[in-house]
Amino acid sequence: MERDIVIYPNEILKTKAEEVKEFNEKIINLVNDMFETMYKRGGVGLAANQVGVLKQVVVIDLHSRTEKQGKEQIVLINPEIVAQEGEIVKEEGCLSLPGLYRKVKRAAYVKVKAQNLNGEDFEIEGEDLLARALQHEIDHLNGVVFIDRLSPLQKRLALEKYKKLKRKYEREMAQKR
């Protein structure tokens, strides 16, 4: 089932998500809904905060917009960055800040420790787009959005632009209903 996306500056996006302790049907449903919602919106990653659930759950599919969609789904429960290297600046966007894109500095490589849907530990390493997606989504679970990674001046400018984009988005959503 597709869920509504929480739009910045909603407090849920600024709140730390809780650790998942029970790996049950509810979490499986949440993950399925998150993938469906992410594909509908054309995103490559989604954190549970963005559908209004304060649980440490992230889904990623870098092929979200291609014919390979669904073939390399990544589910991360209680993820944590355990190593990182390098630095790379690239443009980034977020389904919770519709229409806004800014260059953000991120580590070029990260190693993440997480649990799967069965509660088993695993590690995943990523460079480039995957490294960026991992950092962006784990930030969400910690109540951080990508504009929080900008300098204070750049963030202020981004917020001015975002105010207009948000009004436009809200008008479009109102028309769809």
Q: Enumerate the active-site residues.
A: 137
Site string for Ni ion, 43-82 (x = CB under 5 A): ----------------------------------------
**38 belongs to the binding site for Ni ion (CB under 5 A):** no
What is the smallest separation between the CB atom of 118 and Ni ion, expressed in angstroms? 26
Q: How far is the CB of 139 from Ni ion (least distance, A)?
A: 8
CB 51 within 8 A of CB 95: no
Question: Please, are residues 20 and 27 in contact by the beta-carbon 8 Å criterion?
Answer: yes
CB of 24 to Ni ion, least distance (A): 26
**Among 75-83, 93-101, 111-119, 159-167, which window interacts with Ni ion (CB under 5 A)?**
93-101
- Give 27 or 43: the residue with its C-beta nearer to Ni ion: 43
CA distance 43 to 61: 8
Q: Which is nearer to Ni ion, 23 or 154 (CB)?
A: 154
**Closest approach of Cβ 136 to Ni ion, in Å?**
6
Beta strand pairing status for 88-92 and 109-115?
Answer: unpaired
CB-nearer residue toward Ni ion: 6 or 94 = 94
* DSSP output for 108-163: SEEEEEEE-TTS-EEEEEEEHHHHHHHHHHHHHHTT--GGGGS-HHHHHHHHHHHH
Choose, by CB under 5 A, the member of 94, 134, 141, 158 that binds Ni ion.
Answer: 94
| Tokens coding 119 | 């509660």
Residue closer to Ni ion by CB (options 94, 110) is 94
Angle, alpha carbons 107-31-165 (nearest 5°): 60
Chain centroid to Cα 66, Å, comes to 19
Please give the residue ranges that form the binding site for Ni ion (CB under 5 A): 94
